[in-house]
Structures are given as C-alpha cells and as structure tokens.
Structure 1
C-alpha cells in the first residue's frame, strides 16, 4: 500500500503529464454530419525578433486508423491560443509528410535533412510529379488561414490503409514548419523573401559557399539564422505553435480515393526529361514601364488519368496568379491570391492571406495519361523578389470510380474579412498587383494569361 507521500508524488506526476498532454491536443474528437474533427498543436516553436525556425517535427499527432481526410487547416498561434499576425511571424511554409517507421526504432530528430535514406524510414509521399523535395500531402504558407482545403463528397484522401504499410513498419506523420520572426526587422519584406544580405549569410546550412549571384531564398534563411533588426529593439522570446485542424471520415467502400499531385513551375522535365524541381526562383525587376508582369512556365507529362476534384496554387507576396493548362490550352484550374488590407491576423496588408480554389463539377475536367500539362505562374516585376515559389496542388480521382457514386459538393468556404487600411511596407506590392491586374489576353503561345 502506497504511503501518503508516494500517493502525493503520483498525483503530481499525473497532473504534470496531463498538462503536457494538454499542450498538444486542444480538444476531443467532435462529429458533425458524420465528419470527425480534431484540433492539435505542433511542438512549440521558440522565436525572438529576427529569428528563423525551420525544423522537422517527427511523429506528430494525427488521426489513427484507416480513414479518408476531408480537410487539413492550420495557423500559427501563441501560448494563449490567439492567432499570430503575419506582420510579427511570417509563415513561410508548413508541410505535412507521411512516412513509415520501422517498429522498435526510436524517433529521429532534426539533423538538417529528412534522413530517409535509411532502411528504418520510408517516405510515403504523394503521387508526384517532382522526384524530391515536394513529397507532402498537405502544405501551405502565409495563405493558410483563408484557403479552402475541403475535399468534396464522395471523395477523400485515403491514409492509414494497413495493406499499404510495409511489414514491420508503422505509419506516421511529420511537419516541416518554416517561420520567420519579423518583429523589429529593418526590412520586413526582405526578411520574408530571405534576402542573404539581411541574414549576413554566405554559406548554406551545410557549410557550402553560396553562389555570389544567389541573392536570396531558402539557402539564406535556414533554421537558426537571424534577420537584421533595429538595435534598440528588446529581444523578447516567445513560444508559438502551429494549430492544425484535421477533418476525416472512417474509410468505407462509398468513398472515392483521390491522388495528390504537386507541380512546380521550376520543374526541369521539359529540358532534361527529369523532374528536378528547384522549388524557388527569382523575379527580376522590370526594365520597362508598361508591363510589370513576370511570367514563368513549365510543362510536364501527366503520369495517370482521371477527374480533377480540387486545385489551388501556392505563391509568395508579389504573386498575381497561377494556372494549370491542358495540352489543348484549356484551363484546368486557375488560382489567384487574396491580399490582406489591414492589420488583424488573417487580413495583413501586403501579404497573401488566401488563394482561390477550384472545385470543378464532377467529371467535367479530365486529364488523360501522358497529357502534357503546362503550369504558368505570374508575379509583379515592379520590384525584384527573391525566393518566390510557383507550386500547384490538384486532387485527381479515377473516373471509373466516380460514375456510380452520388456526388455532393460540400466545400468549406473561407471568406476573407477585409479591413480598410494599409501597412506602409505593403503598399508597393499591393500597388504593383493593381497595376498587373488587367484585362485577359491571349499570349502568343495560345495560353490565356491569368494576370487579370
């Protein structure tokens, strides 16, 4: 029989464990119209003015079992659970990657790379098309609060299927979260674009010297780097979290599985025959005064066939819009940025706070196997931009599986709330976007410009 002192110690330990647990799962599973929902918190992200956190967090909390994901939404919050403005912490990107870990192996820690060249860990990535670096199932950036991720009925992203897990392994999920603290930064937008001179960086995170022509991007704002801030600023450290909400249903034969495809406008396939996706690129400042649009395109051969269920682009500040075209020049999906106009979280002036999405009528947008698709990304070139991205996500379902299913489009609408007023640093970018938003026109190559 335990003594009173021992019982007290056990009680205190139990309370500590409950407290620690409470910092992760924010609530229990809720069910609405058959859809389950759970809110989680990532491990804490420690930041101080100008600091960069770009870590991998393994074995994150995630729904268990054989399920169909219906949506995956996220935002940065502080220790009180309050949303954090992009004007204070810029969410460069977050991605969620599925992987298989050999049973009995201890969880790996961040070591500068994914470390999946070992037999203990296997990446269970999406269906393409990039060979490396874009294996996530879910992921967005500053636009995360106002970009719908809902997968309409009867579709779902299938995960947790025990038949797909290699023998001796178990399915797990990881986060890569890239957050930049811009409080007191001497050049806020320069920090978010990872301009090397602001970080005083000439070597990458592996100690390799950077090309002198590389002016900014991921190689200059890796984990632990510091962007330049004003000298008089008090260094206040705080803990943040990525709050993520997953909605799902238990798997059943009535669900039509969809495949996740991610395209990158820097893909080299058209020139090399290899899907070497560079992920980022630079937009040069325009030397003319009558056109401030920088357009970049890439073409790839689509590896399978099916119906497009959903589509959305990922762009950085200065982005005008993006579109995915079929081989005949038809628009498969176009996606445009929603810019904030105020100071509140989710409406930050000068930042992309959402992206428009595509939910085609079922069966109305088809892609054939081997069809050459062209991705176009447009940015304002009134000023130069470093480290920009041009990604495009689509969900594709097997056409034959959809035919006998009753289809009900149930999209989660994320409505932007606009607050009048502009932050000074965002004015130039917004002005550039207004200039670039002009009437539709056809380019010489037959593609419709999405810079409208």
Structure 2
C-alpha cells in the first residue's frame, strides 16, 4: 500500500514537521536540508487529500494540538542552564502565642554572577511538612542583599545602629521608598500561591563583582516574622498585632507607645507573647523558612530588571519625600448596608525615577485586603493584583487568610513608564470590621529603556514569530486541503463515481 494512504504514517511525518517548525531554531542537520522539510510538507498535504474527511479532522486536531503545545513550551521553557536549589533558614523555636521576628545574616544563597529567575518560600516543620497559617502565621519574610566588610565577625542586628554600621552596607532595591523597604524579595501569608517567576529574557542580576565595594563581599540576610497562634484567644487579633492581646505598652527599644497606637509592628516584636487560653500546655516546636531559588548564570543575552516597591502610605504627594510608613489601620465602617459600601480605599502618588518596561507586578496585603492597582499618570492600569483567600484547613488553603496574590506579566514592551511619571497606587480593604497593622505594598520589575535593551527584547520576540506564523500557515493550508477534498467528493458524486476503500 502507498504509505501516503496510511494516516498513521502521514501523522508521524507531520508531527516531525510541526515539531521543527515550532522551534525557535532548527537543528543544523535539518536547516541545511530544505528538501527534507519540503518532502514532509508535501506528504502531509497529499496524505490529507487521500485519507478522507475523517482522517482530515483527526489530523487537524492533532496538528493544532502539536503546534499549540510546542508553542506554549517554547514560551515558558526557561533558558538553558536553569538551576534550582532548596535551602532552609536557621531553626526558629516557637511555643503557643510566641513571636519570632529575627534577622539572620549570611544565609545560604547561590554564588557567582547570576540572574535570579524566581524566589519562593514557605514555613515547614522539622519533618519538612508545610505548616498551616492557622498554627503559625507568616506575617512577612524579606530577603535583603548586603555588602559585609571582609575579615569581621557576622553582625548582629542592633536596633540603635541597624543597617547603618560601616561594616555592613545594604545593597537594596531601586526604590522608591527612602528607607524601611530595602528587600529584593519578600511576601507574607500569600507566599505559597504567588508567582515570583521572572520571564525570559529577563533576570534579576546579583553577584556582579564590579558592583561590590573594595574590601567587602556580597551576602544575603533574612528577616522572618512568624507568629504562633496555637491556642490563641483571638488568633486573627494576634496576626494583626493588637496591642491589648500582647499586653505591650513599650516598643522593642523600651520607648513608650502612643496611647492611640492600638496595633501593629510595634506590639508584636521578637519574643513578645500573644494571649492564649488558660491551662494550655506550652508545647515547643521548631520551624524553618524553606526557600527555593531558581537562577541562571549571567550572560549578555539576559536583560536586567530593577525592583521597585511602592507603599500606599508613601508621603511623597504631601512632602516631596518618599517616606513610607509601611503600616496603617482600617476602621470599621458604620455606614452602608451593602458589602460594596464597606470598603476602605487608600491612595498614594509616587514619582518614578526612570523610563522602562514593566515585566512583572504583584501586591502585598494582609487579611481583609481585597486588592491593589497601580495606575499611570494618564489613568492607565499598569497592574492590578487581587487577594486569593483560602477556603479550608490544609496548608495553602487556610480559610480567612490570604493565601496568594494574582500577578501581572505584560507582553514585553506593552506597559511602559516614563521618567518622572507620577504613578498612583490604590489599595482596598474590607471595612466590615476593623484591622490593625495592615500593609499596602506593590512590587514591580522594570527593564530600563535603552537602545541596547530594546534591541534585545526585539530579538527575543523575533524568535517567537516563526512559531505563530507557521502555525497559522499550516492551519490555513489544512483548511485549503479540506475544501479541495470536499470539492472533489462533490464532483465525484455528481459524476456518479464512488470512492474506493483501500
């Protein structure tokens, strides 16, 4: 039998054909053999013509599935040399109601000049099991890059000197807040279900030896704020750091709190204790922040992105200075009966320091948060990020807690910000009840505009054009073949001919 009449053979050859066409590059052994590609394509069309309508439909389905699958794979497959490693933070010992808010210097981190592609984290126990937010609430974790003078002992966090010691230089993000938000990475309860992947061809550049001051070395530190709520009288109140539950009247440095300060970070600092039920047995346990870093070695083909963090409490609009207060309270609404009426909306404005393309965006909110949106000066939406709430009891789906935030991945070059453009951040919280110590942060990654960077993006996009082009071309030719088959069958029927089965 002629192999062109065998649908399986035609399908096999066509899959090979579509496989090569859907690649951003063709193997050299094939690229120099145009006859090979032409032969397969002719066999594909001829096979459809001879295999009949039923075979045509089957082949079309397989063809489109193959093209779509290959195209999807081409878009999401990371660059060659992608590396990933899982680490554990130092041990965190807790008992019911306890708070740990420590700084861990010189944490394990990939070495060398690299591009970070993702940074994910979660709280686990000593067996490596995920710990529920209903037992240990992850208020926040942040990873900060710093330069440490060579030859000195590991620094200990000192509240009076903090990060301003001459032996330790914070190599923070690109802004926009003047202080207090210097992290490269960081989330809270939403950490398990919030994407942090940096799409190709972009990456967060770290480990560049040319950026390290003479006499220093690059290192990383963690600040992990975890609140144990096992047996708590008011678990949600503990997570919101309500001062009355912690019996706190002074901050961690011994300074008296303002009588109007009812809740927030000043009341749930390291080693404080939230109120638990009477007679509760104090069972200690050890937990860890498990973090997974994915990266590639740095190369000229990677486009660097800068990290910017916006805060809805930023004072720039009123003072001209980016002093970010980090937290605020939401008062219970006494007006309105509909849920839509009970929304607390906060807004801030910030001047952006560079021109560039937005690559990624996500908000950070606390329980009660609805979502945040970052707007351009003309009112366009740069990114909108909504809260994802859990519905059960298992880790990653805890009812009443934010377990994830939606993220933005604009098409390269589609969302631009210009230098000195005034951006607006809007954060929405439910005001059905009051909330203390909440946050309204927004992270974006921006590739700075330049002719070099623009050319790199254009070259990367050009690699994807043949995939779509050939997919459409093959689909169009398949439709054309179907029309020809239908036309020939109609003529055969009119002439009194019948098809002969092979």
Task: Report the TM range for the smaller structure's normalisation.
Answer: 0.7 to 0.9
CA distance, structure 2, for counterparts of residue 181 and residue 321 of structure 1:
26
Give the aligned partner of residue 124 of structure 1: 171
Runs (4+) of structure 1 moved beyond 2 Å?
31-34, 110-116, 402-408
CA distance, structure 2, for counterparts of residue 114 and residue 220 of structure 1:
21
- Higher mean alpha-carbon deviation, 105-114 vs 63-72, is at 105-114
Answer whether contact 2:79 2:200 (CA < 8 A) is retained.
Answer: no
Answer whether contact 2:203 2:302 (CA < 8 A) is retained.
Answer: yes
Taking a change above 3 Å as real, the CA distance of residues 380 and 114 of structure 1, as seen in their structure-2 partners, is: farther
Give the aligned partner of residue 46 of structure 2: none
Give the aligned partner of residue 312 of structure 1: 362
CA distance, structure 1, for counterparts of residue 251 and residue 122 of structure 2:
28
Give the aligned partner of residue 332 of structure 1: 382
Normalising by structure 2, we get a TM-score of 0.74
Shift of 1:110: 3.0
Give the aligned partner of residue 14 of structure 2: none
CA distance, structure 2, for counterparts of residue 42 and residue 399 of structure 1:
37
Give the aligned partner of residue 367 of structure 1: 417
Shift of 1:113: 6.3
Give the aligned partner of residue 279 of structure 1: 326
CA distance, structure 1, for counterparts of residue 164 and residue 134 of structure 2:
38
Answer whether contact 2:81 2:297 (CA < 8 A) is retained.
Answer: no
CA distance, structure 2, for counterparts of residue 211 and residue 375 of structure 1:
28
For the pair 1:185 / 2:232, whether they are aligned, the reply is: yes
3-state SS of the aligned residue for 1:298?
strand
For the pair 1:136 / 2:183, whether they are aligned, the reply is: yes
Give the aligned partner of residue 455 of structure 2: 403
3-state SS of the aligned residue for 1:197?
helix
Answer whether contact 1:363 1:399 (CA < 8 A) is retained.
Answer: no
Alignment of 1:150-299 (within 5 A): 150-290=197-337, 291-299=341-349
Shift of 1:268: 0.4
Shift of 1:231: 1.0
Provide Cα deviations, 1:303-334, integer angstroms capped at 9, x if missing partner.
Answer: 11100000000000000110000000000000
Give the aligned partner of residue 19 of structure 1: none
Taking a change above 3 Å as real, the CA distance of residues 402 and 32 of structure 1, as seen in their structure-2 partners, is: closer
3-state SS of the aligned residue for 1:278?
coil
For the pair 1:382 / 2:429, whether they are aligned, the reply is: no
Provide Cα deviations, 1:389-430, integer angstroms capped at 9, x if missing partner.
Answer: 00000000023303333447xxxxxxxxxxxxxxxxxxxxxx
Provide Cα deviations, 1:187-219, integer angstroms capped at 9, x if missing partner.
Answer: 010000000000000100011111111110000
Answer whether contact 1:256 1:402 (CA < 8 A) is retained.
Answer: no
Shift of 1:354: 0.2
Give the aligned partner of residue 20 of structure 1: none
Taking a change above 3 Å as real, the CA distance of residues 159 and 335 of structure 1, as seen in their structure-2 partners, is: same
Shift of 1:338: 0.5
Report which of the two has the higher share of helix. Answer: 2
Taking a change above 3 Å as real, the CA distance of residues 222 and 84 of structure 1, as seen in their structure-2 partners, is: same
CA distance, structure 1, for counterparts of residue 159 and residue 283 of structure 2:
26
Give the aligned partner of residue 395 of structure 2: 345
CA distance, structure 2, for counterparts of residue 90 and residue 402 of structure 1:
43
Shift of 1:33: 4.7
For the pair 1:39 / 2:89, whether they are aligned, the reply is: no
Answer whether contact 2:301 2:456 (CA < 8 A) is retained.
Answer: no
- Higher mean alpha-carbon deviation, 389-398 vs 105-114, is at 105-114
3-state SS of the aligned residue for 1:105?
coil
- Higher mean alpha-carbon deviation, 176-185 vs 106-115, is at 106-115
Answer whether contact 1:34 1:249 (CA < 8 A) is retained.
Answer: yes
Q: How many residues align?
A: 378
Provide Cα deviations, 1:359-410, integer angstroms capped at 9, x if missing partner.
Answer: 00000000000000000000000000000000000000023303333447xx
Taking a change above 3 Å as real, the CA distance of residues 114 and 310 of structure 1, as seen in their structure-2 partners, is: farther
Give the aligned partner of residue 43 of structure 2: none
Shift of 1:264: 0.2
Give the aligned partner of residue 358 of structure 1: 408
CA distance, structure 2, for counterparts of residue 295 and residue 181 of structure 1:
30
3-state SS of the aligned residue for 2:309?
strand
3-state SS of the aligned residue for 2:245?
helix
CA distance, structure 2, for counterparts of residue 404 and residue 147 of structure 1:
28
3-state SS of the aligned residue for 1:225?
coil
Q: Which consecutive unaligned segments of at least 5 residues does structure 2 have?
A: 1-77, 462-502
Aligned with residue 96 of structure 1, among 130, 139, 143: 143
CA distance, structure 1, for counterparts of residue 288 and residue 308 of structure 2:
28
Shift of 1:117: 1.7
Alignment of 1:6-85 (within 5 A): 33-85=80-132
Answer whether contact 1:103 1:169 (CA < 8 A) is retained.
Answer: yes
3-state SS of the aligned residue for 1:271?
helix
CA distance, structure 1, for counterparts of residue 107 and residue 130 of structure 2:
21
Shift of 1:34: 2.2
Shift of 1:109: 1.7
Taking a change above 3 Å as real, the CA distance of residues 99 and 76 of structure 1, as seen in their structure-2 partners, is: same
